[in-house]
Amino acid sequence: MSGFKIAVLPGDGIGPEVVKQGVKVLETIGKLFHHGFEIQFGLIGGAALDEKGVPLPDETWELCQKADAILLGAVGGPKWDDLPSHMRPEKALLKLREGLKLFANIRPVKFYPNLAFSSPLKENLLKGVDLVIVRELTGGLYFGKPKGRFEENGKVYAVDTMYYTYEEIERIAKVAFELARNRKKKVTSVDKANVLETSRLWREVVQKVASRYPDITLEHMYVDNCAMQLVKNPAQFDVILTENTFGDILSDEAAVITGSIGMLPSASLGEGLKGLYEPIHGSAPDIAGMNIANPLGTILSVALLLRYSLRLEKEANAIEDAVEKVIADGFMTKDLYLNNPSAKKLVSTEEMGDIVV
Ligand code: ATP
Ligand code: MG
């Protein structure tokens, strides 16, 4: 019995529906591989506002601090849209990431043959796509100071500052190289070093880190070119390493190349093993409570949780293999099923969870 503590935060909208399927799969892995997962539920987002009056209650924060890993559904919805910004459900997520010092956002993007229809790219370009974006989450343009709106001599101007320290770049680069070790052993570091000083430092530091990983190939790519290469030849990539703003943009671009938003998992990691895992989609209020949401992004997030926070690689692979098989067998939720010639059976959220189990 390994006794891992896992905090589960279902949240709002379809969050609870998809998280329920993730928990089913987690419990199954616990039984099959004899791990004593201690699963504890916490309130977050709108659900927490309704019951406790705050988006991130103290109990939830304490639960997350004690946990080895956190599984999250989604937060937010029209019911809480008019609240002031410090009270909004989304604030809970930002606080959690900041409080737990999670600086690396990881988004794997993988092509499933039966889902080619849902991609804007042609199938021949998608074959072999299996990449992961490593995005720096706490620095760069979004947080650098000075920042704000100013007035001088009657003119109004606004400032954002791109700011990175050596250490911030070094720690995110390490995450990328460690990931590449267990993959195709290639890191593409994305910057704009022809224009930006932060990018020139980025290149230097990444190069230094790379010298400690002689088994891994490093290439540098400008962000504008990378945006183009992602749609022109996405199969060339293994690990894409980039800063906050570029990563924000590229990870959404990469997410659409292989299909439904309901399929994609993510991890946010820090210095230690603890991480926060969630599907990349939002709370989807338009389909909440209908038992039609795709739970595979959440189930694949459970696989990432096992791999990165608990170091249970076999168990993570078991989940990913099961998801692959379910898709290959043509079982699909509505988002994947419609207009898909490879679809064989339309299944609900609950049924999808059961089939993966
Ligand atoms: P957020 O701002 O919280 O990221 P969003 O506005 O980006 O939210 P989502 O909640 O991700 O939007 O929903 C976008 C669209 O995708 C909606 O039409 C929603 O129904 C659909 N969608 C999102 N997640 C799923 C899912 N798991 N299964 C099926 N459809 C989904
Ligand atoms: Mg969104």
- Per residue in 46-76, pLDDT tens? 999 999 999 999 999 999 999 999 999 999 9
Known binding positions:
77-90, 97, 107, 135, 224, 248, 252, 282-294
Q: How far is CA 326 from CA 53, 110, 122, 313, 344, in A?
A: 41, 15, 23, 20, 11
**CATH classification at residue 280:** 3.40.718.10
Residues at Cβ < 5 Å from ligand 2 ion: 282
Residue 149 falls within a domain, yes or no? yes
Please, which pLDDT band fits residue 258 given cuts at 50, 70 and 90? confident
Q: Given 3-state DSSP classes, what are the helix, strand and coil percentages for the chain, each rounded to the nearest 5? A: 50, 20, 30
Nearest ligand 1 atom, CA 18: 27
Tens of pLDDT, residue by residue over 94-140, are 899 999 999 999 999 999 989 988 788 999 999 999 999 999 999 99
Most confident of 82-86, 178-182, 337-341: 178-182
* pLDDT at 2 (0 to 100): 60
Residue 189 falls within a domain, yes or no? yes
Q: Are residues 240 and 316 in the same domain?
A: no
Tens of pLDDT, residue by residue over 241-256, are 999 999 999 998 998 8
How many other C-beta atoms lie within 10 A of the C-beta of residue 144? 16
Known binding positions for substrate:
97, 107, 135, 224
Query: Which of 258, 275, 291 is the C-terminal boundary of a domain?
Result: 258
Query: Which of 232, 258, 284 is the C-terminal boundary of a domain?
Result: 258
* pLDDT at 5 (0 to 100): 98
Q: Whose CA is nearest to atom 4 of ligand 1?
A: 282
Torsion, Cα of 346, 128, 302, 348 (10° steps): 0
Active-site position among 95, 174, 186, 248: 248
Q: Are residues 279 and 197 in the same domain?
A: no
Most confident of 83-87, 142-146, 213-217: 213-217
Q: Are residues 38 and 53 in the same domain?
A: yes
| Test site for ligand 1: of 94, 281, 296, most ligand atoms within 8 A of the Cβ | 281
Nearest ligand 1 atom, CA 297: 27
Structural domain count of the chain: 2
The H-assigned helical ranges of the chain are 15-33, 46-52, 58-66, 89-99, 123-126, 166-181, 197-210, 223-232, 244-257, 296-304, 313-328, 334-337, 349-356
Residue 78 falls within a domain, yes or no? yes
Q: Would you call 224 a catalytic residue per the annotation?
A: yes
Active-site position among 50, 224, 321, 329: 224
Q: Are residues 206 and 286 in the same domain?
A: no
Contact between 334 and 345 (Cβ < 8 Å): no
- Given a cut of 80, whether residue 259 has pLDDT beyond it is no
Q: Are residues 229 and 329 in the same domain?
A: no
Tens of pLDDT, residue by residue over 77-89, are 999 999 998 899 9
Ligand 1 site residues, Cβ closer than 6 angstroms: 14, 18, 74, 76, 261-262, 281-284, 286-287, 293-294, 297, 335
Q: Are residues 247 and 266 in the same domain?
A: no
Contact between 6 and 72 (Cβ < 8 Å): no
Residue 14 falls within a domain, yes or no? yes
Domain that holds residue 7: 1-104+261-357
Q: Whose CA is nearest to atom 13 of ligand 1?
A: 284
Mean pLDDT computed over every residue of the chain? 96
- Given a cut of 70, whether residue 355 has pLDDT beyond it is yes
Q: Would you call 186 a catalytic residue per the annotation?
A: no
Residue 112 falls within a domain, yes or no? no
Active-site position among 91, 192, 274, 334: 192
* ipTM of model: 0.95
Residue 58 falls within a domain, yes or no? yes
Query: Which of 234, 258, 282 is the C-terminal boundary of a domain?
Result: 258
Q: Are residues 249 and 269 in the same domain?
A: no
Residue 111 falls within a domain, yes or no? no
Residue 188 falls within a domain, yes or no? yes
Q: Are residues 63 and 174 in the same domain?
A: no
Q: Are residues 157 and 225 in the same domain?
A: yes
Report, as an integer, the average pLDDT of 229-252.
Answer: 96
Q: Are residues 78 and 60 in the same domain?
A: yes
Would you give the end-to-end CA distance of the chain in angstroms?
A: 21
Q: Are residues 211 and 236 in the same domain?
A: yes
How many other C-beta atoms lie within 10 A of the C-beta of residue 212? 10
Q: Are residues 243 and 164 in the same domain?
A: yes
Rounded to whole angstroms, the Cα distance separating 340 from 203 reads 43
